Amino acid sequence: MSIVDAAARIGAARAYVDALVTHDPSSVPLHPDCTRTELGVRTGRSGDHIRRSLANGPQFKLIHAISEFDARVDDAGVVHTTYYVHVHPKPLRLAAKVTESFAVDDAGLIRKLVASFGLPTRR
């Protein structure tokens, strides 16, 4: 087991955020027991379940771009991100701000995601 630095932890979170757009979760380092909670509701029960959702979930198919990605790592190694998801239809220019935290273990695997977001607005 290796201990990953802040840049690697942010890279793991960024891989997940990028997969929201590409719908290709193959490079997302999810732990098999990873969970995802969105607005207080569990939306991912395992790494495989989250991968399937990223690839085929209708809730993610609406996303066509990410902007203003920002990330920082706290003293516990948790990555805190903010970014905007831009959703279809493109002509409406709708985007919602997302705040998401990623618990990344010392092996570089995402073990837990906690997300919240606002309503889409024109951007």
Say if CB 106 and CB 2 are below 8 A apart. Answer: yes
Q: Which tokens in the block code for residue 76?
A: 């516990």
Pick the CATH number of 6-122 from 3.40.50.300, 2.60.40.1180, 3.10.450.50, 3.30.565.10: 3.10.450.50
pLDDT in tens, 14-27: 999 999 999 999 99
Q: What's residue 1's pLDDT?
A: 46
Res. 8: pLDDT tops 80 = yes
Q: Where are the domains of the chain?
A: 6-122
Rounded to whole angstroms, how far apart are CA atoms 33 and 48? 9
Mean per-residue pLDDT, 43-67: 96
Mean per-residue pLDDT, 46-60: 96
**Backbone conformation region of residue 63, classed left if phi is above 0, alpha if psi is from -120 to 50, else beta:** beta
> Percentage of residues in the chain with pLDDT exceeding 90?
95
pLDDT in tens, 69-102: 999 999 999 999 999 999 999 999 999 999 999 9
> Percentage of residues in the chain with pLDDT exceeding 70?
98
Mean per-residue pLDDT, 30-57: 97
Say if CB 102 and CB 112 are below 8 A apart. Answer: yes
* Mean residue pLDDT across the chain: 95
The DSSP code sequence of the chain is: -----HHHHHHHHHHHHHHHHH--GGG--EEEEEEEEETTEEEESSHHHHHHHHHH-HHHHTEEEEEEEEEEE-TTSEEEEEEEEEESSGGG-EEEEEEEEEEE-TTS-EEEEEEEE---EE-
